[in-house]
């Protein structure tokens, strides 16, 4: 569904839970291992305070999606999740078809909480399966086996209306044949949505150190491209084509919350290190909160919010984000909307060159999108068009 089709403008609430049981060596998300028990009630009060502060600032909205991300939100007690959802509902109207997603790690301990999450109001889970191969899971530093992950997937299927899981591919030594087999197995267990990420080396992670020392060798560009092509063919063949560079769904089953980011719509960011984009007095503002959980907590308890940066975006920045995020989607962007936001159309000469090279295409309805060949070079295309 296009954004214009909805009755109410989309508005999402992102809630960040920053704790994990252990830190995976590839991950640079804002996640922390707490050596003392986390005072969930205190964090929940602080998250509710941030909701109240943002609501007082932006006024009435109808919440179309809520997303608990992390970190590992499945480490929360269901009652904590419930109290955060209640706080959101106290301040904003909730759409009758609200999508409420929670990211979960697929360990048996967390799976025991699934029913509680459902009763609290979660209607979609996204599980970090990462691989269906025990050796690969070990190399990724995961705390679960493939079998345990698949059991969690089966339980999620029986409890939630919608579920998705994540896999990481382009792992060291992975061949297209092995990946195709793993992916087919995953598709056999999948619902209507899968997130498939190419392993990236993030700065300041243990994987970056190993990679720098030549002890972790990733597939080169050609091999990575073959793995990417395998992903597209196998998923499209199973009825889950890509709708975003790393996300696949049966048409209609896309993650509505993430679509809000990619369509450059409005969302509030709650919790440590959360980002938001708020429309206030005809301005689009970018907000970010303190990343360190206990500093964030202290800030919220003193000020009612953990915001450390809150800036209006210039017309150019708004247009660049619209382009950068929208071209991740296979639906692409409406070129006329870009021109309206930027105050000028896209550069026709650059566009023609990119079209000639087969990286982008224009649909009959005037939408601009990347071709399948253009997706792997998304960053270069955006840099070219936004320049
Ligand atoms: C916020 S994280 C994880 C949620 C949850 N804590 C978990 O690990 O299952 C969301 C997803 O990003 C992906 N991811 C994280 N770091 C990555 C990296 N360096 N390369 C590729 N994918 C990555 C993983 O698939 C992960 O499930
Ligand atoms: S991948 Fe998930 S479990 Fe691992 S450190 Fe990152 S957020 Fe935590």
Mean pLDDT per 10-residue interval, the chain, length 387 residues:
59 98 96 95 98 96 98 97 98 98 91 95 98 97 95 96 97 97 97 97 97 96 95 97 97 98 98 98 97 98 98 96 96 95 94 94 90 89 87
Which residue's alpha carbon is at the smallest distance from atom 2 of ligand 2? 71
The 3-state secondary structure of the chain reads CCHHHCCCCCEEEEEEECECCCCCCCCCCCCECCCCCCCHHHHHHHHHHHHHHHHHHHCCCEEEEEEEEECCHHHCCHHHHHHHHHHHHHHCEEEEEEEEEEEECCCHHHHCCHHHHHHHCCCEEEEEEECCCHHHHHHCCCCCCHHHHHHHHHHHHHHCCEEEEEEEECCCCCCHHHHHHHHHHHHHHCCCEEEEEECCCCCCCHHHHHHHCCCCCCCCHHHHHHHHHHHHHHHHHCCCCEEECCEEECCCCCCHHHHHHHCCCEEEEECCCCEEEEEECCEEEEEEECCCHHHHHHHHHHHCCCEEEEEECCHHHHHHHHHHHHCCECCCEEHHHHHHHHCCCCCHHHHHHHHHCCCEEECCCCEEEECCCCHHHHHHHHHHHHC
pLDDT at 8: 76
Which residue's alpha carbon is at the smallest distance from atom 3 of ligand 2? 20
pLDDT at 5: 47
pLDDT at 109: 79
Of 321, 310, 329, nearest to 385 by C-alpha is 321
pLDDT at 373: 86
Which residue's alpha carbon is at the smallest distance from atom 8 of ligand 1? 128
β-pairing verdict for 367-370 and 333-334: antiparallel
Which mutation among 71, 104, 110 tests ligand 2's pocket best, with the greatest number of atoms within 8 A of CB?
Answer: 71
pLDDT at 386: 83
Distance from the CA of 140 to the center of ligand 1, in angstroms?
10
pLDDT at 1: 41
Of 351, 355, 335, 344, nearest to 384 by C-alpha is 351
Report the nearest atom of ligand 2 relative to the CA of 130: 1
Distance from the CA of 107 to the center of ligand 2, in angstroms?
13
Distance from the CA of 199 to the center of ligand 2, in angstroms?
14
Distance from the CA of 331 to the center of ligand 1, in angstroms?
24
Distance from the CA of 6 to the center of ligand 1, in angstroms?
30
Residues at CB less than 6 angstroms from ligand 2: 20, 23-24, 27, 29, 31, 70-72, 105, 128
pLDDT at 36: 92
- Considering the entire predicted model, what is its pTM? 0.96
Residues at CB less than 6 angstroms from ligand 1: 26-27, 29, 69-70, 72, 103, 105, 128, 130, 166, 168, 197, 199-200, 202
R_g over Cα of the chain: 21
Distance from the CA of 89 to the center of ligand 1, in angstroms?
29
pLDDT at 363: 87
């Amino acid at each position: 569904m296009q954004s214009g089709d909805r009755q109410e403008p989309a508005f999402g609430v992102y809630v960040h839970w920053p704790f994990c049981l252990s830190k995976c060596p590839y991950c640079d998300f804002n996640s922390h291992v707490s050596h003392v028990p986390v005072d969930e009630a205190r964090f929940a009060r602080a998250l509710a305070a941030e909701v109240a502060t943002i609501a007082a600032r932006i006024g009435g909205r109808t919440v179309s999606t809520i997303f608990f991300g992390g970190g590992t939100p499945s480490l929360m007690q269901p009652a904590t999740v419930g109290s955060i959802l209640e706080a959101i509902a106290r301040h904003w109207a909730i759409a009758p078809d609200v999508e409420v997603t929670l990211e979960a790690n697929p360990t048996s301990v967390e799976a025991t909480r699934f029913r509680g999450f459902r009763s609290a109001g979660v209607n979609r889970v996204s599980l970090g399966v990462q691989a269906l191969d025990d050796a690969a899971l070990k190399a990724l530093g995961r705390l679960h086996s493939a079998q345990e992950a698949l059991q969690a997937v089966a339980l999620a299927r029986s409890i939630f209306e919608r579920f998705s899981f994540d896999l990481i591919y382009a792992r060291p030594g992975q061949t297209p044949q092995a990946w195709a087999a793993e992916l087919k197995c995953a598709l056999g267990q999948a619902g209507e949505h899968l997130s498939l990420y190419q392993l990236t080396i993030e700065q300041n992670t243990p994987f970056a150190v190993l990679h720098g020392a030549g002890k972790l060798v990733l597939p080169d560009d050609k091999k990575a491209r073959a793995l990417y092509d395998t992903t597209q063919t196998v998923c499209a063949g199973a009825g889950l084509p890509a709708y975003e560079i790393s996300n696949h769904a049966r048409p209609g089953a896309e993650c509505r919350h993430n679509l809000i980011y990619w369509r450059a719509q409005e969302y509030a960011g709650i919790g440590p290190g959360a980002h938001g984009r708020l429309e206030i007095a005809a301005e689009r503002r970018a907000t970010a909160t303190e990343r360190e959980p206990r500093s964030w907590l202290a800030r919220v308890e003193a000020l009612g919010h953990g915001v450390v940066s809150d800036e209006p975006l210039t017309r150019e920045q708004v247009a660049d984000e619209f382009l950068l995020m929208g071209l991740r989607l296979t639906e692409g962007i409406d070129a006329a909307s870009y021109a309206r936001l930027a105050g000028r159309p896209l550069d026709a000469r650059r566009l023609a060159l990119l079209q000639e090279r087969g990286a982008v295409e224009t649909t009959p309805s005037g939408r601009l999108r990347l071709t399948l060949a253009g997706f792997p070079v998304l960053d270069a295309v955006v840099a070219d068009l936004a320049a």
